[in-house]
Amino acid sequence: MEQIGMRRKIYIFVMKALMMVSAALTCALVGFLMIYVLWKGLPNVTVRLLFTKPSYLSGQIGILPDILNTLYIMIAALVIVIPLGAGAAVYLTEYAGNKKLVAVIEYAAETLSGIPSIIYGLVGMLFFCQFLNMQTSLLAGALTLVIMNLPTVMRTTQESLKTVPQSYREGAFGLGAGKWRTIRTVVLPGCIDGVITGCILSAGRILGESAALLFTAGFAHALNGFFTGLRSSGATLTVALYVYAKEQGEFGVAFAIAAILMILTLLINLLATSVAKYFKRRRSL
Amino acid sequence: MKDKQFLENIVHGMFLILGLITVGFVLLITVYLVLSGIPAIREIGLFDFLLGDEWQSTAAEPSFGILPFILTSIYGTAGAILLGVPVGFLTAVYLAKEAPSGIRNVVSSAVSLLAGIPSVVYGLVGMLVLVPGIRRLFHIPDGASLLAAIIVLAIMILPSIINVSITALEAVPREYEDASLALGATPVETYFRVSVPAARSGIAAAVVLGVGRAIGEAMAVMMVSGNAPNMPSLFQSVRFLTTAVASEMSYASGLQERALFSIALVLFFFIMLINATLNFFLKRSKEE
């Protein structure tokens, strides 16, 4: 048995303790945030809050319009971003021969994912709302979110495309299939898991986004159908939280929304992990 | 046969367009920011704009100096890094090397939850817990301050730092660690004297990513920092580059609005610089 000197012992003990304290602190922060928000928010989540719209006559606040707006914007953004992102990924893995071009595209995607959401909001306002004359509308907000989430969908799809064995493609070519037929029948079915993962991650980001939506989707709380909704201004849950907390001092409502957002975030996280596990198991079969 | 080739070409062209769309978006953003940001800078003068220390956008004789915002963003980010990096780094080493798999699973799902929490929720909790706490603790009239923003940012950048550092630490070749252990180093010594130095580029990338996140965060900061255009001071109400854009955008017009676009351009410039640094470290980490 070799002896370890006192100084080394102290070093090891201190480092170990610091690591554990840091990890515990991280966990404690998450635990505190979760419990505090749920404890303050859940008592305020009532049926009335969930299923009505705000009424100036009775002074009641309802968040149904905000829930629907969040849903509309999520659907619209995902429907547009999935084909764009998946298509870009297919181009990069299946078509692109020019290494320089691939590097440029990947650098562009990385740049996009580093740009802060407030800048997206500003450019979205200038381009979609003013230049394309969409006004502040859910559609303008959704399109802004499309640009934001494009790199995410692209990356997840690319990763899943890389797991499609090269021999599948060669087999299809060998049977006389053209490039497009091979992609349609062999490659695309193989990237479903990447697309789904990208969808879930994007949904989480859209749910939590606020800065990019302030000036593109606006603050209105009107109750609309899907297509009218897209053309009119509307606050999502996060924007509504901000307005109620910062501008109107309605902390009860703000915490209720925060609690709902927390639960949804938790659900999306669970979904993401279980889907990842499912695909991993299926692939190893 | 000819038809088939024709179809192939069309499909190829379509995918090429989809592939180039990200490049298009980056160009769109850059062009719009530059085009809308330059006029106000020319009107105000680059020197007065960047180094002017007074921002009074709505006064009768308005002055548009954004030095307070630039400095606040830099100090705020530096503070968040100072608090967040040690905690994030040590947590990452613990998770990547030391933690038993049960604990590891729990902590990593906590970390990914932390990453998913919307920034307005951080802002709300900061507004009602942190701000009053700081007011009481330091006996100042208002707790909405740079300090509150720094603490919120430090928490918000934790997941980025932890996740990127873990990836870097896990990529360290097993042989390095085995060699160190075989020479008589204990596991903890091996982590910090062999694994961490071997993963230094990746960990640097994690820090740079954290810088990018912190400097770009708007909503949470807006809710806890008070938003007065003061020169940065730990216990005073301050305004960041991001919040300067967000807080006046809804009612700004004319030169004031153009000046806000210029602020966004300055922020964009910082972000591009950070992105380039990040790329440099990521590349080096891959090479290693």
Residue B275 distance to chain A (closest CA, Å)? 7
The Cα–Cα gap between A143 and A123 comes to 11
Chain B contact for A67 (CB, 8 A cutoff): no
The Cα–Cα gap between B145 and B140 comes to 10
- pLDDT category at B1 given cuts 50, 70, 90 is low
* Amino acid at site A43: P
Q: What does the mean pLDDT of chain B come to? A: 91
The Cα-based distances of A128 to A133, A169, B19 in angstroms read 7, 40, 22
For residues B182 and A47, which has the higher predicted lDDT (pLDDT)?
Answer: B182
For residues A46 and B271, which has the higher predicted lDDT (pLDDT)?
Answer: B271
- Among candidate residues A148, A267, A5, A19, the one with its CA nearest the CA of residue B22: A148
Q: How far is CA A144 from the centre of its chain?
A: 13
Chain B contact for A31 (CB, 8 A cutoff): yes
- What is the mean predicted confidence (pLDDT) over B223-248? 89
pLDDT value of residue B136: 92
Residue B164 distance to chain A (closest CA, Å)? 14
Confirm or reject CATH 1.10.3720.10 for domain A48-284, answering yes or no: yes
Q: Residues in chain A, how many?
A: 285
For residues A66 and B61, which has the higher predicted lDDT (pLDDT)?
Answer: A66
What are the φ/ψ torsions at residue A264 (nearest 5 degrees)? -65, -40
Which residues of chain B neighbour A246 with C-beta distances below 8 Å?
123, 127, 222-223
Which residues in B192-229 are b (16+ Cβ under 10 Å) and which e? bebbbebbebbbbbbbbbbbbbbbbbbbbbbbbbbbeb
Restricting to B residues 189-218, those with a Cβ less than 8 Å away from any Cβ of A are 189, 191-192, 212, 215-218
The low-confidence residues of chain A, meaning pLDDT below 70, are: 1-2, 285
Which residues of chain B neighbour A136 with C-beta distances below 8 Å?
none
**CA end-to-end distance (rounded Å), chain B:** 49
**ipTM attached to this prediction:** 0.91
Domain-wise residue ranges, chain A: 6-44, 48-284
Chain B contact for A261 (CB, 8 A cutoff): yes
CATH number of B67-287: 1.10.3720.10
- What is the mean predicted confidence (pLDDT) over B93-114? 91
